Amino acid sequence: MSPVIKKKGEKFTLPSKYLLFILTILCLLLVVLTFNTSLFNGPLGTIAGYIVVPFQRGISEVGSWMNDRSEELSEIQDLLEENEKLKQQIDELTIDITRLQQDKYELNNLRELYQLDSQYDEYEKIGARIIARDAGNWYSSFVIDKGSNDGIEVNMNVMAGAGLVGIVVDVGPNWAKVTSIIADNSNVSGKVLSTSDNLIVSGDLELMSEGVISFSQLIDSDNQVVEGDKIVTSSISDKYLPGILIGYINSISADSNNLTKSGCVTPAVDFEHLEEVLVITELKQQIEE
């Protein structure tokens, strides 16, 4: 075999496996020198000072940095776990607060119904919850969770808040439909409480956007009726029981015939936030009989 002749200008290259072997030996040597403190005595002390000490310092700094990072990661993990627990506690407290607010709201409603029940204690009543209503902002027509099984009948009067809500128009075994006095097709015979002058209160959903409904056919010859007067159901109504508060006169003006007056009534009931009602379980006809 002819010898391999290295050409001029060629660079010397060391195979990677030899380079890896040399670096491994060097690392092992440095490790041995690092942990063998006896080498710092004698002639190798100076060499060890230049080689081993910086290497030891580097290892120490790296170890210290890694330890600090490990502690920081542990603290971060603890903070994340604590944060998660606090979030759960906040969620639980929010639910509790919501329940308490709901209970308070329902308690206020029940107190109003109780006061209303006491105010009209001459009538037998049953409480009911609204379970459905027509589309829109107002409770012009809705369904309650009591029906014929509970003694509910068509034409029974319905109250809430401070006065009259409407009348039952349809009944099932465990439900009943109510049309309120603010519905466009509603007409209630009423009277001014202070003067006993009769009038007709008519529902008007368009006017309800301003918080009022209309009244008409008021005969007030002596001009005694003023804004703020109470309007209650009259005894001449064929369906509504007498003396139930409808609302308060909001505005009044003379009609073009100069014989009657008309205007607007502010309902006694909040028809935007109804939830529970009282149904009077007596019919006008039964009471008259």
Domain boundaries, the chain: 17-119, 125-284
* Residue 253 β-bridge partners: 262
pLDDT, tens digit (0-9, with 9 covering 90-100), for 53-82: 666 666 667 667 777 777 788 888 888 888
Q: What is the DSSP string of 68-129?
A: HHHHHHHHHHHHHHHHHHHHHHHHHHHHHHHHHHHHHHHHHHHHHHHHHHHHTTTS-EEEEE
Torsion of CA 156, 161, 162, 167, to 10 degrees: -20
Instruction: Tell me which CATH homologous superfamily contains domain 125-284.
Output: Rod shape-determining protein MreC, domain 1 (2.40.10.340)
Q: What is the structure's pLDDT at 233?
A: 95
Q: How far apart are CA 54 and CA 39, in angstroms?
A: 15
pLDDT, tens digit (0-9, with 9 covering 90-100), for 173-209: 999 999 999 999 999 999 999 999 999 999 999 999 9
Residue 266: is it exposed, middle or buried by C-beta count within 10 angstroms (0-12/13-18/19+)? middle
Torsions phi, psi of 154, nearest 5?
-60, 145
Contacts of 165 (CB under 8 A, 6+ apart): 139, 158, 159, 178, 180, 181, 269, 271, 274, 277
* Locus of tokens 């230049």: 50
Give the chain's mean pLDDT: 82
Cβ–Cβ under 8 Å, residues 190 and 246: yes
Using CA atoms, how far residue 187 sits from 3, 166, 183, 238, in Å, is 124, 10, 9, 11
pLDDT, tens digit (0-9, with 9 covering 90-100), for 121-138: 888 899 999 999 988 889
Name the pTM for this structure. 0.63
Residue 166: is it exposed, middle or buried by C-beta count within 10 angstroms (0-12/13-18/19+)? buried
Strands 176-180 and 141-144: antiparallel
Using CA atoms, how far residue 51 sits from 1, 38, 55, in Å, is 45, 15, 7
pLDDT, tens digit (0-9, with 9 covering 90-100), for 136-177: 889 999 999 999 999 999 999 999 988 999 999 999 999 999
Q: How far apart are CA 218 and CA 45, in angstroms?
A: 120
- Mean pLDDT (whole number) for 78-91: 84
- Residue 261: name the closest of 272, 247, 271, 251 by CA: 251
What tokens appear for 133 in the block?
């209503």
Q: What angle do helix axes 44-119 and 16-35 make, rounded to 10 degrees?
A: 90
